[in-house]
Every structure is written in C-alpha cells, then in structure tokens.
Amino acid sequence: MTLPAVPADLARPGPGTLTVRVMVDADIETAFAAATDWPAQARWIPLTSVKVVEGDGRSLGSVVHAFTGIGRVGFLDVFTVVGWDPPHSVQVVHTGRLIRGPGAFHLTEYGRQRTEFAWSEELYLPFGRAGEVAWAVARPLAAAALKAGLRRFARYVVSR
C-alpha cells in the first residue's frame, strides 16, 4: 500500500510529544466513528471547526482542516490521513504552519461498552530552541486542555 504524499521529515516523530487518554462508555466501533467524524469534533474541541477538504475523511490521503480560534483570529491545523485501521487507529501527519508532525488516535476495547481513546502527538515545535523551551511550560497546559476535550468527547459519544 502506498502512503499519501506528505513531507518525509514531518512523518518522523518530533520532540513535542503529548499523549492523553480517556475511557469512553461505548463499544469501540461507536467511539471510533465519533472520533473520526471530523466535522463533529466542533462539539467537543472548544473553539474549533473542522472540515474535510480532500477525500472522504475516512481513507488514506484524506486532508482535513481544523481551525481553532475566534472569528479570524486563530490557527489552521492541516493534516493528512496516513494510516486508517478501523476501529483501532488513525494516523495523521500535520503539515500546517504551526502544527507539524505525526499524530494518532488509538482505541482499545475493554469490554462491550468500555473503550480507551488515546490521542497522541509527536510534533515539531515552532520557533526553534525557543519553542522547545516554551514547550516545557506549554505541554502541561496543552495536556490539560486536551484532557478536558477528551472528557467532553466521552460524554458526547454516550449522548449520540
């Protein structure tokens, strides 16, 4: 299988690592479908709108744009789906100006109605060495914000 074209340097893990997990009271298929319903992510990721701009969003090579911000002030996360293994995982490569590098969703089922959803990123940090230093402060804040989003995700899945 040929992977979609993304810059090879961005497909390798970067130093900005972050993994957050949440347990979801749903079967793995339901959790996977909710996680990969890209436009619906606006329901559980604050201040974010998401749309599929190439492909169907559920196959290799699909390109997704996620804008986080208020009005026109914010940033655009552009990513390409480079791995698709329903209902267990999705791998992406972020290729935007600010967010760059590999990321993934991994789902593990622990019984009929219990699934762990893990969101991981291995990003290249902007601003060189200053970005690496800033990441030491920003990482716990990013983890807390992502954890809050994943808790909302868990509630969203149950309410669907």
> What amino acid occupies position 22?
V
* Mean pLDDT, rounded, of the chain: 94
CA geometry: angle 77, 36, 138, nearest 5 deg: 40
The pLDDT of residue 128: 86
pTM: 0.92
Long-range contacts of 62-66 (CB under 8 A, 24+ apart): 64/38, 64/92, 66/38, 66/41
Looking at residue 160, its pLDDT comes to 84
pLDDT band at residue 5 under the 50/70/90 scheme: confident
CATH class of the domain comprising 13-44+83-159: alpha beta
pLDDT at 2: 52
Q: What is the mean pLDDT of residues 30-40?
A: 97
DSSP symbols for 24-48:
ESS-HHHHHHHHT-GGGGGGTSTTE
Q: Which residues contact 130 (CB under 8 A, 6 or more apart)?
A: none
The mean pLDDT value for 154-158 works out to: 97
Helix (H, G, I), strand (E, B) or coil at 143: helix
Read off the pLDDT of each residue in 81-97 and give the average, rounded to a whole number. 96
User: Does position 1 have pLDDT exceeding 60, yes or no?
Assistant: no
CA pair distance 135, 68, nearest whole angstrom: 19
Percent of the chain with pLDDT strictly greater than 90: 85
Average confidence (pLDDT) over 79-83 = 97
Q: pLDDT of 49-77, one tens digit each? A: 999 999 999 999 999 999 999 999 999 99
Q: Can you give the pLDDT at residue 105? A: 98
Q: Is 47 left (phi over 0), alpha (psi -120 to 50) or beta?
A: left
Token reading at 37: 């319903």
